[in-house]
Chains A and B, each alone.
Chain A
């Protein structure tokens, strides 16, 4: 999927796309890396996953010369949270949340999290969220400037 997203972003650079909206299919925006894949002796090495899957996505998201909107629909955890934060505008369903889950498993944040989050919410808050791994509901994320807007439900229905 990560390679597919890279290819899609490359196509957008070439085919005259004027705006791009990234959202998740199903209940989550992106729950991050599946650790079972990493610990599988026959699976890819974590180094290659970070270097070949996630980092090129972040670089493309920042280099593409068109507005990219992350429409977060549910959990945005680990690399998934940091992919959203690398977009130009982040909106989120009110029921969504952001989680720097890395510290829960003894890893350091990836996908540009240590670059974007301190610039968005300040060093102190970024340090706390990354070290403590606290879940940040969309409303709180908006209040602290992590995202542009938390979108409330209207008449019991979400906007997208």
Chain B
């Protein structure tokens, strides 16, 4: 389980009672992209490897 996602989850939770819904949705969207890029790259590499083998 990648810890980057957990660290960002914790940051989002820490901010939750300070934020309104719109701010929290923005934060989730921004934080989602950081680990997601890595996940998508890894998945695409797997797909590419499968296609090549």
A112 touching B25 in the complex, CB below 8 Å, given contacts A39-B43, A107-B5: yes
B3: shortest Cβ distance to chain A, in Å? 9
Evaluate contact between B12 and A39: CB separation under 8 angstroms. no
- A17 contacts the other chain (CB 8 A): no
SS of B interface (majority): helix
Evaluate contact between A107 and B25: CB separation under 8 angstroms. no
Complex CA–CA separation, A130 to B43 (angstroms):
23
Evaluate contact between A51 and B24: CB separation under 8 angstroms. no
SS of A interface (majority): helix
Complex CA–CA separation, A50 to B32 (angstroms):
9
Evaluate contact between B24 and A114: CB separation under 8 angstroms. yes
B44 / chain A contacts, CB cutoff of 8 Å: 39, 41
Evaluate contact between B29 and A114: CB separation under 8 angstroms. no
Complex CA–CA separation, A132 to B47 (angstroms):
27
B32 / chain A contacts, CB cutoff of 8 Å: 46-47, 50, 107-108, 110
B23: shortest Cβ distance to chain A, in Å? 9
Contact bitstring B29-44, A, C-beta under 8 A = 1, else 0: 1011101101110011
B10 / chain A contacts, CB cutoff of 8 Å: 127, 131
Residue of B nearest to A133 (CB): B1
- A102 contacts the other chain (CB 8 A): yes
- A2 contacts the other chain (CB 8 A): no
B2 / chain A contacts, CB cutoff of 8 Å: 106
Evaluate contact between A103 and B35: CB separation under 8 angstroms. no
Evaluate contact between A59 and B21: CB separation under 8 angstroms. yes
- A84 contacts the other chain (CB 8 A): no
B13 / chain A contacts, CB cutoff of 8 Å: 114, 118, 123, 126-127, 130
Interface contacts beyond A105-B5, A111-B28: sample of 14 additional A-B pairs, CB < 8 Å, sorted by A: A38-B40, A46-B33, A46-B40, A50-B29, A50-B32, A102-B9, A108-B31, A109-B12, A112-B21, A114-B13, A114-B16, A114-B27, A114-B28, A115-B24
Interface residues of A (CB under 8 A from B): 35, 38-39, 41, 46-47, 50-51, 55, 58-59, 62, 102-115, 118-119, 123, 126-127, 130-131
